[in-house]
């Protein structure tokens, strides 16, 4: 008797808004997931949009995202736009009844991220934020050690992210919108810090923030023409110290550019053991055995290779896209990435506010101090786009 063939996965129809650098990664990731079809794409740049749609065989093109949202055959809209467009367009996506997959950081300002979070509840839609580092084998291994009690009582963590010279556009890579408060909101601390901070908050079980202090810097010289073109006015280095519930502390150092050798790894310290999460993919575990101090390097890659082949549940957490689609199909429990991204925004915004005010800020103060940077109006080839207000959110 022939075995019953596996049922075809439910088709998920996706549209992309924004067809720039990261949209290519998304299109390739969706292509690897059986049953996902990209139905439509939108960009203000017609030539870019057309080339993108031809490359990925996408049948429908839109310059105006509002026309795309009128389609009733789309379940998910993936927002691949500059940070300060995440809130207005994600809210519009959910208001149009679609689930929303949105790029990181969640928004350019905490208050805008909160609006997105509220909108998901208000419209009863899923909001997923791309937090790529929470799926990797290192994070999975670290979570396993923590869940099995190998660290004991966790009391301190460190989120470090290092680029010696990697400011977008002015140092060569990516577009100029990364560098301006107008489009991006912030620099290194939000752009790359989001990956490292969210990974640690995920490992720590999303502890409640109490207070934070810190500073942001832009000190290193850059190409003057590119500085002028981009209007570079964001931080290249962010430094912070945060206090969480139960005495837990977190120190943060995130660099796009610094005169320094590579930073030490991110860490989690506990009473029974500590872990080091190295940028090269290694995971170190430090503890004691019969009175002797031990140092173990876990074979993360080997275990992950096997798990991803043998364990269907692990595959549901392989990467951001795979997880979002699997959770949408009910194949696994969804990680609350919007909540995790919002927690990350809270501590990042706290560092920025502390830098501005020259003092520590409490978590309770941050929502009131955070100022919206969301773009409300944008020039387009078809006239001025005015984004709808968010009536259900107290600003």
Ligand X SMILES: NC(=O)c1ccc[n+]([C@@H]2O[C@H](COP(=O)([O-])OP(=O)(O)OC[C@H]3O[C@@H](n4cnc5c(N)ncnc54)[C@H](O)[C@@H]3O)[C@@H](O)[C@H]2O)c1
CB atoms within 10 A of CB 10: 12
Give the HSE-up count for residue 293: Cα atoms under 13 Å, Cβ half-sphere. 2
Question: What is the DSSP pairing of strand 361-362 with strand 209-217?
Answer: antiparallel
Select from 8-16, 39-47, 159-167, 260-268 the region that touches ligand X (CB under 6 A): 39-47
User: Per rule CB under 6 A, is residue 50 in the interface with ligand X?
Assistant: no
Tokens encoding 34 = 């059986």
Nearer to ligand X, 96 or 154 (CB): 96
Select from 14-22, 134-142, 250-258, 289-297 the region that touches ligand X (CB under 6 A): 14-22
User: Per rule CB under 6 A, is residue 174 in the interface with ligand X?
Assistant: yes
> Minimum Å distance from CB 41 to ligand X?
9
Tokens encoding 327 = 């959770």
> Minimum Å distance from CB 149 to ligand X?
34
Buried-state track 170-198, b at ≥16 Cβ within 10 A, e below 16:
bbeebebbbbbbebbbbbbbbbbbbbbbb
Q: What are phi and psi of 189, to 5 degrees?
A: -60, -40
Which residue in the set 58, 85, 151, 197 belongs to the binding site for ligand X (CB under 6 A)? 85
Which residue in the set 9, 13, 22, 165 belongs to the binding site for ligand X (CB under 6 A)? 22
Which residue in the set 175, 336, 360, 365 belongs to the binding site for ligand X (CB under 6 A)? 175
Question: What is the DSSP pairing of strand 99-102 with strand 76-79?
Answer: parallel
Which residue in the set 30, 65, 101, 123 belongs to the binding site for ligand X (CB under 6 A)? 65
Nearer to ligand X, 50 or 307 (CB): 50
> Minimum Å distance from CB 104 to ligand X?
6
User: Per rule CB under 6 A, is residue 104 in the interface with ligand X?
Assistant: yes
User: Per rule CB under 6 A, is residue 88 in the interface with ligand X?
Assistant: no
Select from 15-23, 92-100, 271-279, 308-316 the region that touches ligand X (CB under 6 A): 15-23
User: Per rule CB under 6 A, is residue 19 in the interface with ligand X?
Assistant: yes
Nearer to ligand X, 153 or 376 (CB): 376
The alpha carbon dihedral of 10, 15, 18, 23 has a sign of: positive
> Minimum Å distance from CB 279 to ligand X?
16
> Minimum Å distance from CB 380 to ligand X?
6
User: Per rule CB under 6 A, is residue 202 in the interface with ligand X?
Assistant: no
User: Per rule CB under 6 A, is residue 21 in the interface with ligand X?
Assistant: yes
Tokens encoding 83 = 């940070």
Q: What are phi and psi of 81, to 5 degrees?
A: -115, 170
Buried-state track 290-307, b at ≥16 Cβ within 10 A, e below 16:
eeeeeeeebebeeebeeb
Which residue in the set 75, 78, 83, 209 belongs to the binding site for ligand X (CB under 6 A)? 83
> Minimum Å distance from CB 178 to ligand X?
7
First to last CA, the chain: 64
Q: What are phi and psi of 267, to 5 degrees?
A: -140, 160
User: Which residue of the chain is nearest ligand X when measured via CB?
Assistant: 20
> Minimum Å distance from CB 336 to ligand X?
20
303 neighbors 233 (Cβ within 8 angstroms) = no
Which residue in the set 144, 294, 297, 378 belongs to the binding site for ligand X (CB under 6 A)? 378
User: Per rule CB under 6 A, is residue 43 in the interface with ligand X?
Assistant: yes
Q: Rounding to the nearest 10 degrees, give the CA dihedral for residues 18, 24, 26, 30.
A: 120
Tokens encoding 207 = 């502890």
* Axis crossing angle, helix 110-123 with helix 337-357, rounded to the nearest 10: 150
> Residues near 321 by Cβ (< 8 Å), separated by ≥ 6?
26, 29, 30, 33, 101
Select from 42-50, 203-211, 227-235, 342-350 the region that touches ligand X (CB under 6 A): 42-50
User: Per rule CB under 6 A, is residue 304 in the interface with ligand X?
Assistant: no
340 neighbors 201 (Cβ within 8 angstroms) = yes
Measuring CA to CA, which residue among 134, 87, 73, 106 is closest to residue 322? 134
- Residues 238-257 vs ligand X: string with x where CB under 6 A? --------------------
CB atoms within 10 A of CB 78: 28
Query: What separation in angstroms does the CA of 380 have from each of 64, 277, 386?
Result: 9, 44, 10
- Residues 118-157 vs ligand X: string with x where CB under 6 A? ----------------------------------------
Residues that bind ligand X (CB under 6 A): 17-23, 42-45, 48, 65, 80-83, 85, 103-104, 174-175, 177, 191, 378, 385
């Amino acid at each position: 008797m022939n075995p019953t063939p596996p049922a075809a996965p439910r088709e998920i129809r996706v549209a992309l808004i924004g067809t720039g650098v990261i949209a290519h990664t998304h299109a390739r990731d969706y292509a690897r997931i059986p049953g996902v079809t990209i139905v439509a794409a939108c960009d203000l740049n017609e030539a870019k949009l057309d080339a993108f749609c031809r490359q990925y065989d996408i049948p429908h093109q839109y310059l105006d995202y509002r026309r795309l949202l009128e389609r009733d055959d789309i379940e998910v809209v993936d927002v691949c736009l500059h940070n300060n467009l995440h809130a207005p367009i994600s809210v519009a996506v959910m208001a149009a009844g679609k689930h929303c997959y949105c790029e990181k950081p969640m928004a350019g300002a905490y208050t805008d991220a909160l609006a997105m979070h509220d909108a998901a509840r208000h419209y009863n839609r899923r909001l997923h934020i791309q937090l790529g580092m929470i799926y990797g084998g290192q994070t999975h291994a670290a979570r396993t050690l923590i869940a099995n009690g190998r660290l004991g009582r966790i009391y301190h963590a460190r989120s470090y992210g290092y680029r010696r010279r990697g400011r977008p556009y002015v140092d060569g890579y990516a577009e100029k919108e990364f560098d301006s408060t107008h489009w991006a909101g912030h620099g290194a601390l939000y752009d790359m810090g989001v990956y490292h901070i969210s990974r640690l908050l995920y490992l720590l079980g999303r502890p409640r923030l109490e207070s934070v202090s810190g500073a942001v810097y832009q000190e290193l010289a850059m190409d003057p023409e590119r500085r002028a073109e981009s209007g570079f006015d964001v931080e290249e280095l962010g430094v912070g110290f945060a206090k969480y519930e139960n005495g837990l502390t977190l120190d943060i150092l995130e660099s796009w550019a610094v005169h320094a050798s590579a930073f030490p790894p991110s860490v989690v310290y506990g009473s029974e053991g500590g872990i080091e999460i190295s940028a090269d993919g290694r995971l170190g575990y430090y503890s004691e055995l019969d009175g002797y101090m031990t140092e173990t390097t876990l074979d993360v890659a080997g275990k992950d290779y096997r798990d991803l082949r043998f364990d269907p549940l692990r595959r549901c957490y392989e990467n951001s896209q795979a997880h979002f689609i699997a959770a949408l199909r009910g194949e696994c429990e969804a990680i609350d990435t919007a909540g995790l991204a919002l927690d990350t925004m809270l501590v990042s915004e706290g560092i920025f506010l502390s830098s501005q005010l020259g003092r520590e800020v409490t978590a309770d103060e941050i929502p009131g101090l955070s100022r919206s940077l969301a773009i409300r109006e944008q020039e387009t080839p078809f006239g001025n786009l005015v984004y709808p207000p968010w009536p259900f959110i107290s600003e």
